[in-house]
Amino acid sequence: MERVSIRDVAREAGVSITTVSKALNDYPDVSPETRRRVSEIAQRMNYVPDVAGRSMGGITEKVIGLLLNDLTPTDPSGAVFGILSGAYHACADSGIDFVLLTTNPGSQEETSLKRLCLSKRLDGIICNGFRLHDPYLEQARQLDLPCAVIDVEMNDPRIVDVSIDNVQAADEAVTFLLGCGCRAIALINGSARADVSLRRGRGYAQALTRSGLPVRPEWTVDADFDMDSAYHAAVELLRQYPELDAFFCASDVMALGVCQAIEEAGRKVGADVMVVGFDDIPTARYMYGGLTTVRQDFYKMGYNAGMAVYRQIQGQKPADASVGLLHELVIRSTAHGG
Amino acid sequence: MERVSIRDVAREAGVSITTVSKALNDYPDVSPETRRRVSEIAQRMNYVPDVAGRSMGGITEKVIGLLLNDLTPTDPSGAVFGILSGAYHACADSGIDFVLLTTNPGSQEETSLKRLCLSKRLDGIICNGFRLHDPYLEQARQLDLPCAVIDVEMNDPRIVDVSIDNVQAADEAVTFLLGCGCRAIALINGSARADVSLRRGRGYAQALTRSGLPVRPEWTVDADFDMDSAYHAAVELLRQYPELDAFFCASDVMALGVCQAIEEAGRKVGADVMVVGFDDIPTARYMYGGLTTVRQDFYKMGYNAGMAVYRQIQGQKPADASVGLLHELVIRSTAHGG
DNA sequence: CTGAAAGCGCTTACAG
DNA sequence: CTGAAAGCGCTTACAG
């Protein structure tokens, strides 16, 4: 596509490029008539200043990157999409450029986070999908750049943590199951390498302990947030421990696999065995008569993360981005009182 | 973050910036020893060439933009995510920069597609989510840029169309329902402003006509791809036309609403009333005992679109990107023979 | 109010 | 094999 440069506009308008630049950048020292004529001509010629040129001239847009650890082909829970959309809109609302970046365990070894940020000229970064011990997580602490990390408790004054209170959320879910009369509750957890799994496991244990119930390690399975793994785990648990009367699952997607296993075992979900999921994915209310689950708002997580990074770029101190990030136990059919 | 420039590296290495540039860009006329030392120093100093500088120097990366018409907070079907991921990976595999852009009916009036492409320095573009009569759709034809459009039949030799054969897919779905013995089949369609809706409507009518059945317009409802609208439409249809024995839905998400309406009407999904959805979303097999649906591969659509645009950028002629984009009727519980 | 000139960080003929 | 210099498209003191 043929690009029109500032010289072309200047020639057409019969002025210098200085004047074109000033007219288009709202400098006061340009006659109204000149400004009008120049903008009119620039518009007509479809002149769009070259970003590289502008950048060299000293004008750069701020840019925030959303760094996704592994962009998978599919996003069953919609978590990544929600975060992406939220971060994007936070940038749009702040007049900041948004750029999508991805990495994976392999490329984390190749290129340092710092070089990645440098090459994309980032002014701030949001990290999502990182596992404990991922190299970039540690590098984020050394990064001299506004940074928000989603779903990993970094405990670093320079980094904004963005996540719901997962311990509390899991505690509430399990406490609810106990209130429903359940006494043998299994935990189908996400990957042990994910910080949220640790926290949800803690909430689960905390609720049981408070009720004077033992925490039986054999009733906790790491199903890596995977539907099929959860299904198989539940099949096995139900076979070995027929006394199980409830499953708390660290994601709705895993809850689906668990529900299927329960039904295949000839038991009735929500009656014989209760199930609570996590996330409240868009289709949750249509599954198994309505999945009882812990809702979290991924869009808002992304949005808050974007805004928190933006504020830091503006020089404000990193506000607590988890404020207003509330979870909510949504009671439907797969687990319910009375 | 402190940026190191080529001068800093040159100074540190005791050579000219010319030599640094040559060493780092693999020019042959640099002594092996100099090259080694310069790269070593550049690496150590975390030197990353400034893209703007490189661009001014004449070296620019190719970039493909994925333009989404409205980035919604949520993506219940996972279609947008799949396309995004596919397009991203096509770019990654081709060594091309990927950038995410969004627009909406309002901003389409403000900025022309051409200016948008110019401002992002695009070398190619993929359009998704556009409705018939969206201004950008017409502007895409005039655009002097490799372009792929998803799910709209553009019929333009310069534009790559990317979509499954929606007429054929719908025809197969309805023909299957007829084979199941259904004789009163309603169509819950997507927005009439979406090209795919038109095509699926055509396939629906085609299948009925072939079987000598009348196409009753009152049995077709535009539910705009929305779960709740589909639910309400189904409630109403079931009330007015109790003889309905099947629903063909233009999306799984809408099928969910329809299934709920059927159950609330005291009828059994898959027995009294059959339901076929569209998309095969990740959770489809867990809903209502398994949703019968037409599968399409969104990731592949995005990937093929990206590759087709890339090929055009390389100067190759625009291959048919829909090749290999197959749909598949997945028969589960909500509609099944015998 | 206008414009010539310097400078931003690179690359690349070109001379040595 | 090395480096001085021109040039890419802008912005912005600065002089007029």
The pLDDT tens digits for B164-182 are: 999 999 999 999 999 999 9
Chain B interface test: which of A99, A125, A283 (most B C-beta within 10 Å): A283
Residues A84 and A173 in one domain: no
pLDDT at site B322: 64
3-state secondary structure of B148: strand
Same domain, B131 and B277: no
Across residues B205-211, what is the average pLDDT? Answer: 98
The partner residue sitting opposite A88, judged by closest CB among B46, B60, B102, is B102
In whole angstroms, give the CA distance from residue A288 to residue A57: 60
> Are A246 and A281 found together in one domain?
yes
Instruction: List bases, strand C, within 7 Å of protein CB.
Output: 1-5, 7-13
**Residue A135 near residue A146, CB atoms below 8 Å:** no
Whether B78 sits inside 8 A of A73 (CB atoms) is: no
Burial class of residue A223, CB neighbours in 10 A (0-12, 13-18, 19+): buried
Q: What is the pTM of this model?
A: 0.95
Tell me whether residue B324 is in a domain. no
Query: Is any atom of strand D within 7 angstroms of residue A170's beta carbon?
Result: no
Place B2 in a pLDDT band, splitting at 50, 70 and 90. Answer: confident
Question: Is A118 close to B46, i.e. CB distance below 8 A?
Answer: yes
Q: Per the structure block, which two tokens stand in for A61?
A: 């847009």
Rounded average pLDDT over B78-100: 97
Q: What interhelical angle do A79-94 and B79-94 show, nearest 10?
A: 80
Asked if residue A216 and residue A144 are part of one domain, the reply reads no
Residue A48: inside a domain, yes or no?
yes
In a domain, A331, yes or no: no
Classify residue B320: in a domain, yes or no.
Answer: no
Same-domain status, B289 and B191: yes
Verify that A171 and A197 share a domain, yes or no: yes
Q: Mean of the pLDDT values across residues B256-284? A: 96
List of chain A residues whose C-beta atoms are within 8 Å of the C-beta of residue B283 = 76, 253, 256, 281, 283, 287
Domain count, chain B: 3
Q: Which residues from B are below 8 Å from A52, CB to CB? A: 51-53, 55-56, 60
Helix (H) or strand (E) holding A312: helix A298-313
Q: Is the CB of A39 under 7 A from strand D?
A: no
Q: Where are the beta strands (DSSP E) in chain A?
A: 63-69, 97-103, 124-128, 147-150, 159-162, 185-189, 220-222, 246-249, 274-279, 292-295, 328-330
Shortest CA to C1' contact from A27: nucleotide? D12
Q: How many CB pairs under 8 A join A and B?
A: 143
* Through-space separation of residue A113 CA and nucleotide C9 C1' in angstroms: 23
pLDDT at B1: 81
CA→C1' distance for B16 and C10 (Å): 13
Strands B292-295 and B328-330, by their bridges, are antiparallel
Mark whether B223 and B201 lie in a shared domain.
Answer: yes
Res B323: pLDDT: 66
Phi and psi, residue B134, nearest 5°: -65, 130
- How far from chain centre, in Å, is Cα A302? 5
> Is position B1 within any domain?
no
In this structure, are A71 and A102 located in the same domain? Answer: yes
Q: Closest CA to D10 C1' — which residue?
A: A53
> Which one, of A283, A221, A223, A225, lies nearest residue A70 by Cα?
A225
* Strand D reaches within 7 A of the B34 CB: yes
**What is the distance between the alpha carbons of residues A277 and A241, in angstroms, rounded to a whole number?**
20
D chain positions with any atom within 7 Å of a protein CB: 1-5, 7-13
In this structure, are A157 and A171 located in the same domain? no
Question: Contact B72/A53, CB-based, under 8 Å?
Answer: no
Q: Which residues on chain B are in Cβ contact (under 8 Å) with A115?
A: 46, 48
3-state secondary structure of B20: helix
- Sequential pLDDT tens for chain A (338 residues): 889 999 999 999 999 999 999 999 999 989 999 999 999 999 999 999 999 999 999 999 999 999 999 999 999 999 999 999 999 999 999 999 999 999 998 999 999 999 999 999 999 999 999 999 999 999 999 999 999 999 999 999 999 999 999 999 999 999 999 999 999 999 999 999 999 999 999 999 999 999 999 999 999 999 999 999 999 999 999 999 999 999 999 999 999 999 999 999 999 999 999 999 999 999 999 888 899 999 999 999 999 999 999 999 998 876 666 667 899 999 999 999 86
Give residue B151's domain range: 63-163+298-313
What amino acid occupies position A294?
Answer: V
Measured between CA atoms, how close is B44 to chain A, in angstroms? 11
- In a domain? residue A243: yes
Q: How far is the CA of B57 from the C1' of D7 (A)?
A: 8
Whether residue B206 lies inside any domain: the answer is yes
User: Cβ–Cβ of A299/B73 closer than 8 Å?
Assistant: yes
Cβ atoms of residues B129 and B302 within 8 Å: no
Quick check: is B302 in a domain?
yes
Q: Is the pLDDT of residue B321 over 70?
A: no
Contact (CB, 8 A) for A188 and A274: no
List the one residue out of A81, A139, A101 whose CA is nearest residue A302.
A81
pLDDT tens digits, one per residue of B221-269:
999 999 999 999 999 999 999 999 999 999 999 999 999 999 999 999 9
Asked if residue A290 and residue A219 are part of one domain, the reply reads: yes
Q: If you ran DSSP here, which 8-state letter would residue B284 be given? A: G
Question: Max CA-CA distance within chain A?
Answer: 88
Domain with residue B43: its CATH number is: 1.10.260.40
Looking up residue B121, the CATH number of its domain turns out to be 3.40.50.2300
Q: What's the token pair of residue B183? A: 């004789």
Same-domain status, A176 and A151 = no
Shared-domain flag, residues A156 and A96: yes
